[in-house]
Structures are given as structure tokens and as C-alpha cells.
């Protein structure tokens, strides 16, 4: 059982709830996502879909409304109940979906699917062995010669600004034992941050539980380059599209030997810094600079773990200031979009007065967001092996 299942189950969390009061907008967002990945939404009508880790079913709903038949692998009891209620409220007939109370590795079915969807959890599974087992299971469930597999990746670059929020959050609640009280304090601290993200569709308390307090975020992420390498070491899989399109696909249609997966693996490290902020423009950077930054970002994440484990908050805060100052000084070339929020956080930490009101009042940092998850669309191109 992985961290997600244990954590969600312990606190009876229904993961990834969303505001879909504007249903048309929600559907258009989801259609646009798949269009960016090379999948037209018209293909969902009559399709057989396997969705793994569907949470509360908000992202499943557009598939069902489009006329797909969906098998859902979701071991979270609270999520199961929430999605049934959601589907009933939109008059989805029970024959359109089946919920399986198990992990994907335990899902025993000979059925093959047009689309296999696994959003949000693969990058933060407990270890590489578990990630490989899940990847094997996803590939096996895709139809040979045309089944799509859509997953997400994440890395220390794309999650850095959120990691800074996690650090600030744990400084706020280090002496608070009650889970409910922690959620309340953190919601007060970060509500202005989430409000600044104009595309956000989640309630603040749900975001806090998932993006700040979730222990799965302490694991070693599976980034886009690693995810592509892991899937495509199986010869039966190729990359169709990625979002954001960090690495361009410049192939010519007659070049049958071209592999987009190879191009991504070769160029991802040149572009990885672009994931730090939604305000950073597309550009290449020396791989050595990004490798150095990655080490520093991992040092910063290690301090979060120490703080969570009960380390001396004052001592850790001083170390955090030093690490952030080093990151800032070594990466001046990334410009104001990266430096301005960090300068504000460093100045705030140096006051030593860490309050929810103070965190909520951070103007530059409240608007600073990384590129979070990246989406990757693979296609099973033949029936070869695993």
C-alpha cells in the first residue's frame, strides 16, 4: 500500500475535489488537455477507458458524459463514495462504469483498453520498484497497436515553489498536533496564494491536505525524462505528446526512424529549469547549471523532512535561509520571475516572525507557481513483450 492510499484513508480524504459548477468550462479544460497531448475528444465516444486513481471522479465525469465506458481502479473508500454520488448527480447510468477496490498491480482482468489514464500519483510512489510495477501494469492494460497511456510526471524543479510553501507551512504548524487545526492554519496562510492562481478549481482545505500535508510529497519524484526512459525501455511504447511541450518534436513524417522519446531524453535536462515557474519563458540552459540547481533543490527538500520529523525549527529555518540565498545567487540568470519571490521569502524568514497572516501577505511569492505536473501521452505501438 503506497503513501497516497494510507494518508487518504487515515484522514478520510476524498482526493482532488474540484469546483465544476461551470461544467462546460470543466469539460473544455479536459478536452484541451487531451488535445495538447494529441488526442481528440471525439475519440472518447464509445471508448473503453481504464482510469487509475480517479479520486472523487471529477476528471472521470467528462469521459462518461462523452459516452465512454470506464473501469475505475480506486482503493480509496472516501473517493469511491464521492464519485458514485457525483455520477448520480449527473444521471450517469451505473452500466457506464465499474469501480474496482484495489491497486492497479492487483487489478486482474484480461480486458485491454483504448485509453489508460493514471494522473497524479505515479511520480510520488514510495520507490522506483513500485513505480516500475505500476508502469508494467499500465502498459499491459493498453490495447496493442494503438492503446493510449496518459500519465503525469513531476520533479524538484516543477514543485519547488510548492516546496517553499511546504516549508513555510511546517514552520507554522510545528507545534500543532491536531490535523484539523493544522488544516485550518494552513488554509488561512495559503488562501491568498491559491486565489492568485486564476485556473485553480480546488477548495483551499482540499489543496492544503493534498499539496502541503501529503507525506507522498517527501518521496523521490519521477521526472519527465525518467518517466519517458522507463516507459520506452519497453520497445512496444512510444511518446505521442507532452504538456507542457518542453521539448519540440521536429520530426519529418518520412523519417520513420525518428523517436520523440529519444529526443525528450536527450533534451529534457536542457529545459528542466523552465518548469520552475509558469512565468519563465522557453529557453535552453547549460545542463551543468541545471544539475547543480537540482542538487540544491534536493538539499532544500531534505530540510523539509527534518522539520517534519521534529528538528529544531529555529536552526532549520536558518539553514533554509542559507540554502535559499545560495540558490538565488547561483541562478541569477533565471531572471526576476524566479528571484523576486525568493527574495521576498528570504526577507520574511529573516524577520523570524512566521505567522499565517504574514504568509498570506507575501505579494510576490503568493503569485509564484511552478509548472506542477507534466502530462505524457504514450502509445502502445505493437504487442511486443511487456
Pairing status of strand 148-153 against strand 374-380: antiparallel
Q: Cell numbers at residue 9, please?
A: 484513508
CA distance 108 to 352: 54
10-residue mean pLDDT series, the chain (386 residues): 69 74 94 97 98 94 98 94 96 98 93 96 88 95 96 97 98 94 97 87 88 92 96 92 96 92 96 97 96 98 96 96 98 97 98 97 97 96 60
pLDDT at 234: 86
pLDDT at 386: 41
Sheet architecture: strand order including 48-52: 97-100, 69-73, 48-52, 115-118, 148-153, 374-380, 237-243
Tell me the CA end-to-end span of the chain in Å, nearest whole number. Answer: 23
SS3 118: strand
What pTM was computed for the model? 0.94
pLDDT at 306: 96
CA distance 238 to 148: 10
Residues 6+ apart with CB under 8 A from 107: 73, 100, 137, 141
pLDDT at 91: 97
SS3 378: strand
Domains in the chain: ranges and CATH: 3-153 (3.40.50.150), 160-218+285-366 (no CATH)
Amino acid at each position: 500500500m503506497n503513501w497516497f492510499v494510507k494518508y487518504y484513508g487515515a484522514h478520510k480524504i476524498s482526493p482532488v475535489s474540484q469546483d465544476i459548477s461551470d461544467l462546460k468550462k470543466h469539460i473544455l479544460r479536459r478536452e484541451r488537455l487531451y488535445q495538447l497531448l494529441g488526442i481528440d475528444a471525439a475519440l472518447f465516444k464509445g471508448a473503453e477507458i481504464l482510469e487509475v486513481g480517479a479520486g472523487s471522479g471529477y476528471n472521470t465525469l467528462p469521459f462518461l458524459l462523452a459516452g465512454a465506458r470506464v473501469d475505475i481502479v480506486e482503493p480509496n473508500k472516501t473517493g469511491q463514495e464521492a464519485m458514485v454520488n457525483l455520477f448520480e448527480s449527473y444521471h450517469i447510468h451505473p452500466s457506464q462504469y465499474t469501480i474496482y477496490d484495489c491497486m492497479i498491480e492487483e487489478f486482474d482482468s484480461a480486458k485491454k483498453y483504448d485509453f489508460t489514464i493514471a494522473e497524479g500519483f505515479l511520480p510520488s510512489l514510495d520507490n522506483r520498484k513500485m513505480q516500475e510495477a505500476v508502469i508494467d501494469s499500465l502498459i499491459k492494460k493498453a490495447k496493442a497497436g494503438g492503446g493510449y497511456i496518459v500519465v503525469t510526471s513531476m520533479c524538484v524543479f516543477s514543485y519547488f515553489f510548492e516546496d517553499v510553501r511546504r516549508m513555510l507551512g511546517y514552520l507554522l504548524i510545528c507545534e500543532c498536533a491536531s490535523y484539523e487545526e493544522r488544516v485550518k492554519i494552513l488554509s488561512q496562510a495559503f488562501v491568498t496564494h491559491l486565489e492568485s492562481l486564476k485556473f485553480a478549481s480546488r477548495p483551499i482545505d482540499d489543496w492544503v491536505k493534498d499539496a502541503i500535508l501529503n507525506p507522498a510529497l517527501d518521496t523521490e519524484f519521477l521526472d519527465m525524462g525518467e518517466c519517458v526512459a522507463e516507459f520506452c525501455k519497453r520497445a512496444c511504447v512510444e511518446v505521442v505528446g507532452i504538456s507542457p511541450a518542453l521539448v519540440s518534436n521536429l520530426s519529418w513524417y518520412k523519417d520513420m526512424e525518428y523517436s520523440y522519446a529519444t529526443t525528450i531524453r536527450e533534451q529534457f535536462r536542457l529545459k528542466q529549469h523552465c518548469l520552475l515557474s509558469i512565468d519563465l519563458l522557453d529557453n535552453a540552459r547549460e545542463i551543468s547549471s541545471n544539475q547543480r540547481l537540482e542538487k540544491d533543490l534536493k538539499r532544500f527538500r531534505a530540510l523539509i523532512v527534518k522539520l517534519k520529523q521534529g528538528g529544531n525549527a529555529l536552526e532549520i529555518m536558518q539553514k533554509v535561509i542559507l540554502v535559499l540565498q545560495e540558490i538565488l545567487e547561483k541562478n541569477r540568470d533565471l531572471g526576476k520571475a524566479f528571484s523576486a519571490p525568493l527574495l521576498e521569502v528570504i526577507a520574511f524568514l529573516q524577520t523570524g516572525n512566521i505567522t499565517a497572516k504574514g504568509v498570506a501577505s507575501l505579494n510576490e511569492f503568493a503569485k509564484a507557481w511552478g509548472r506542477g505536473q507534466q502530462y505524457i501521452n504514450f502509445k502502445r505501438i505493437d504487442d511486443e513483450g511487456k
